[in-house]
Amino acid sequence: MPREQIGVATLAEAKTQRRLLEVAAWFEDVTIPAGEYPITAGVDQRGKVIENSVRIELAGTITASAFPSLFGGLPVGSGIVDANSGRPSEFVACPYASWLAKAIVEKRGLEWLGATARLLPGWAVTITGHGKRAEWVIERYDSQTEMAGAGRKVRGCSE
């Protein structure tokens, strides 16, 4: 499935995210600098973003890490602490497309990440249905009239 850039996440200030690894006790703290990061997603043949394909890849630097030696889940010895500090790493966020659509329309941003998000020109959030049965979709469009003519509410368009 080809991936396309559908938007941009903007981090106003540097943020440290904890990246948990294979064992619950192993982690890396990745400090991500302020800046803009691409939001990519898989798109089906109709131009709709696939619900579980959204990715925001945030490149940063490891500021702390711990890989304690474990036996049966219990610490044994000291393990490796901060051996990776200063090395490049990344934190990958994978929100559902419908969640991202709501966050953009409601202008609440990506609170858990401390970032804001916007769609690129040519992409819009469409809402079909009402209340709890409403479907929030991010899809490609050529013009406002094309989307409105399809009988959908269009919000969060960027032109």
Nearest to 21, CA basis, from 72, 76, 70:
70
Domain ranges of the chain: 3-155
| pLDDT on residue 55 | 94
- The DSSP-derived string for 114-156 is TEEEEEPTTEEEEEES-GGG-EEEEEE-S-HHHHHHTT-EEES
pLDDT value of residue 143: 60
pTM, 2 dp: 0.78
Q: Which residues of the chain have pLDDT under 70?
A: 1, 78-81, 142-159
Report pLDDT digits (tens) over 123-152.
Answer: 888 887 777 777 888 888 766 555 554 545
Task: Report DSSP state, residue 110.
Answer: B
- Pick the closest to residue 28 from 16, 45, 12, 40 (CA basis): 16
What pLDDT, on the 0 to 100 scale, is given for residue 151?
A: 47
